[in-house]
Amino acid sequence: MLYPIVFIALVASPLALIARLPARSLIAWGLAFIPLTLFGLTLTQAGPVLAGEQVVEEISWVPALGLNLTFTLDGLSLLFALIITGIGTLIVGYAGHYLGADSGLGRFLAYLMLFMGAMLGVVLAGNVLTMFVFWELTSVTSYLLIGYKHDYPDARRGALHSLLVTGGGGLALLVGLLLLGQMVGSYEFRDILAAGDQLRAHSLYPAAVILILLGCFTKSAQIPFHFWLPGAMQAPTPASAFLHSATMVKAGVYLMARLSPALGGTALWDVTLAVVGGATMTFAAIVAMRQFDLKAMLAYTTISMLGALTMQIGLGGKYGAEGVATNILAHALYKSALFMLAGVIDHECGTRDLRRLGGLRRYMPQTMVITALALLSFGGIPIMFGFVAKELMLEAALETDLGATLSILAVAAIAVTAIAYLITGWRLFSNTFLGQRSTAAMQQHVDDPTPGMLIGPGVPAILSLFIPLVLLAPVSTLIAAASAAIYGKPLEVKLALWHGVNPALLVSLSAIVIGVAMFRFAEQLANMRGWPIWLRGDMIFDRLIERTLTGATALTRTLQEGRLRRYILITALTMLIFVGVPFISFGLGAIRFDLDPQLQFYEILAAALIPIGVIATIKARTRLGAIIAVGVVGAMVALLFVLFSAPDLALTQLLIEVLSTVFLLLVFSVLPVRFESFSSAWVRQRDAIVAIAMGILMGGLVLATATNDSFAPLAPFFLENSLDKGKGANVVNVILVDFRGFDTLGEITVLFIALLGIYGLLRLRQGKDDVTPERVPTTATEPLSEPVNTQR
């Protein structure tokens, strides 16, 4: 059963609200049994997958749209599902200690559970449209997590950047996925993956690839869309550990790896991924060396690893697939541990700023040991799992089929990145645990946190050591299944610490030696001058948003100047230009003038009274006369409904006419009896021309629709199926509540939201005088620390 793995996390998310009660840390560990249960359910399905099979479940959702809730478990989705639920278990328990003094812990854990369910939906979905629904849900829930501390301007800014960038990429991705479905004739992943040759030969292949890569690059923070991810560090550390190590940021990598067997094998796909991924990997690794905030440092190294994974997908081949799967697991382990350890340090010391840390080895020895293990794997030091993953990355670069030039560039980029990782890791460790007693340690009591808080980072850090020493055989089986899904063919994988002396080992050892030798220059590198503005994507994006809002404000002021006549004029002119011109050019031929309507005299009379009433309304000199003339128009429309067998519409029309007449009489009773003319003659002539043109256009559209026989009429369908399928004899009512039920629901929802907005504005106005102004921050930016839990 696969769908319970997805929906249990979504349905159980409201249970997390009980974490608002006292004993929050215990409640959090109790809630951790939910992802732990999902981890166990995933393991129960692992047998067939590890044997090379797939587990497929399908639930019909919207068959008319080809939208099915298809869930598929293969090696790649198994790897991700185990990471999501396994790391998620530790994160939930850790959050109870980290946010133990925060009354909003329940809300935070509810967001986290929703996010976990969305990510499980992404990796287990067997239909691209189903996957996209969960994909967008990850964007929404990550927005809530990043903006959890909504009182902080930087948190709101980071959440907005994340939503806009990933949401915009999601729109491109949706179009690309729809193109894939059109090219293949199916939206199922299994059908798309089986049609690789057909896709690569299709004329729409380049467009589909570009759109899909835009969606993946924005989600996985590839250059030039990388800037949103460092801003996401404004989320509480448990959310950062989950987002940056195991989940959302790897969603783009997952989709690229999933589609690689079908879309790969062309220069457009392979070279683009290799170049963009390699550039992102190297650039972000160098930037990470220069950071002083622990979470910023880890965020940039996350971008770097996402680039490395993207590059390996582009490099392709057996080693490329193995390298992607292995690095996904290795990165999830050491990066989740490092983020949680950064939270531990911030929690105990009240800061994440390396310039205020140091000498913590005396006060936090357990934290130091766990940090050292995670950093050794992060730096790719032999006997750690990160070393095994780095060797496969180098093998992929050395054995690629993309040519010698790209191979050399890839190896060089990996070597530079490995050196940067070592320097970054050394700066993190030495500035935190070595040296003199820190300012933070002198200002408050500092020691190791409770064991419950160290379990979270301790487990993945220890696994980074134990996997290469004692668990390589079972992990090799898992990696083989995941690699086969990426490669598109069965693979035999045997991970090992020692493959003999080979070029990959020599490059790796050389990078380690150079990196260690550069430790003495680490601080000089960190204090280099800042990056030019064109490298600051966040600032460029902020300026783009500001310019867009400024332009929108100017346009709004131009179009909406406060006069109803101008609004109607602009709407009419827009309709005439964008509908009238195409209709005159291409639609006039659709009108048939050879039909004999066989109208009766009284029908013609009722129809003729409508324009007479309109003219009378325009010519009326008194308000009462205009109201009477308008009433004649409404009454004649109701009469036509009666004459053409629509009594329910006639009754509705009459009710509206009565109510509107009463309303107009009440309103106009306080106005002068006669109309005044405030418009010049040419303005009235202009308005008359626009009005006549609009009338002719709408009449022509209705006539073309009613007389055109290019499409079968809908009326017979509704008449035949209203009673049988809609269970109602009133066809109009059945259309509103059944055939067009979602339209009606949407209209009701819009009205309800408008009602809530009006109610909120009224309440805001009512309580405006009672609001005490909030303290204005005295600094331009928020401090580098999150609220410290002093209740240990």
Q: What is the pLDDT of residue 773?
A: 46
CB 491 within 8 A of CB 480: yes
How many other C-beta atoms are found inside a 10 Å radius of the C-beta of residue 36? Answer: 18
527-561 tens-digit pLDDT = 776 555 445 666 777 788 788 888 888 888 888 77
For 192-206, 471-485, 765-779, which range has the lowest pLDDT when averaged over its residues? 765-779
C-alpha span between 519 and 1 (Å, rounded)? 51
Residue 784: pLDDT band (50, 70, 90) is very low
For 398-407, 423-432, 443-452, 485-494, which range has the lowest pLDDT when averaged over its residues? 443-452
pLDDT at 248 over 80: no
- The CA-CA-CA angle for residues 785, 787, 789, to 5°, reads 125
388-402 tens-digit pLDDT = 999 999 998 998 888
CB 442 within 8 A of CB 359: no
For tokens 């290019």, the residue is 710
pLDDT at 334 over 80: yes
C-alpha span between 66 and 81 (Å, rounded)? 26
For 81-90, 218-227, 433-442, which range has the lowest pLDDT when averaged over its residues? 433-442
pLDDT at 481 over 70: yes
CA-CA-CA-CA torsion sign (540, 546, 551, 556): positive
269-313 tens-digit pLDDT = 999 999 999 999 999 999 888 888 888 899 899 999 999 999 999
Residue with more model confidence, 671 or 79: 79
CA-CA-CA-CA torsion sign (506, 509, 510, 511): positive
For 222-226, 372-376, 528-532, 604-608, which range has the lowest pLDDT when averaged over its residues? 528-532
574-617 tens-digit pLDDT = 999 998 888 888 877 767 666 667 778 888 888 888 889 888 88
Q: What is the pLDDT of residue 768?
A: 57
The one-character DSSP state at 776 is P
Residue 782: pLDDT band (50, 70, 90) is very low
How many other C-beta atoms are found inside a 10 Å radius of the C-beta of residue 659? Answer: 10
Q: What is the pLDDT of residue 156?
A: 84
pLDDT at 783 over 70: no
- Three-state SS sequence of 504-555: HHHHHHHHHHHHHHHHHHHHHHHCCCCCCHHHCHHHHHHHHHHHHHHHHHHH
For tokens 């509480």, the residue is 236
pTM: 0.78
The average pLDDT across 212-241 equals 87
The one-character DSSP state at 611 is H
Q: What is the pLDDT of residue 81?
A: 92
Q: What is the pLDDT of residue 413?
A: 93
φ, ψ of residue 56 to 5 degrees: the values are: -125, 130
Q: What is the pLDDT of residue 177?
A: 93
Q: What is the pLDDT of residue 770?
A: 52
pLDDT at 791 over 70: no
The one-character DSSP state at 310 is H
CB 82 within 8 A of CB 477: no
Residue with more model confidence, 276 or 154: 276
- Determine what percent of the chain is predicted with pLDDT higher than 90: 26
* Per-residue tokens: 454: 């160290």
C-alpha span between 785 and 98 (Å, rounded)? 13
The average pLDDT across 153-171 equals 86
- Three-state SS sequence of 381-430: CCCCHHHHHHHHHHHHHHCCCCCHHHHHHHHHHHHHHHHHHHHHHHHHHH
Angle between helices 564-575 and 681-707 (to 10 degrees): 40
For tokens 């940039």, the residue is 300
φ, ψ of residue 768 to 5 degrees: the values are: -60, -40
C-alpha span between 89 and 86 (Å, rounded)? 5
pLDDT at 772 over 60: no
CB 438 within 8 A of CB 359: yes
* Per-residue tokens: 767: 């309580």
Question: What are 604-610's contacts with CB under 8 Å, separation 24+?
Answer: 606/636, 606/639, 606/640, 606/643, 607/636, 607/640, 609/633, 609/636, 610/636, 610/637
Angle between helices 601-619 and 623-643 (to 10 degrees): 160
307-333 tens-digit pLDDT = 999 999 999 888 899 999 999 999 999
Q: Report which residue type is found at 344.
A: V
pLDDT at 523 over 70: yes
Residue 776: pLDDT band (50, 70, 90) is very low
Most confident of 260-274, 513-527, 669-683, 723-737: 260-274
pLDDT at 407 over 80: yes
Q: What is the pLDDT of residue 462?
A: 94
pLDDT at 792 over 60: no
| Summary mean pLDDT of the chain | 84
Closest CA to 77 of 108, 50, 106, 37: 50
How many other C-beta atoms are found inside a 10 Å radius of the C-beta of residue 26? Answer: 15
> In 316-384, which residue ranges form alpha helices assigned H by DSSP?
317-349, 365-378
CB 170 within 8 A of CB 143: no
pLDDT at 645 over 60: yes
pLDDT at 38 over 50: yes
Q: What is the pLDDT of residue 440?
A: 58
The average pLDDT across 133-158 equals 86
C-alpha span between 501 and 112 (Å, rounded)? 45
C-alpha span between 59 and 65 (Å, rounded)? 14
The average pLDDT across 421-429 equals 91
* Per-residue tokens: 240: 């950062």
Residue 254, Cα to own-chain centre: how many angstroms?
A: 14
Residue 703: pLDDT band (50, 70, 90) is confident
CB 416 within 8 A of CB 525: no
- R_g of the chain, CA atoms, integer Å: 33
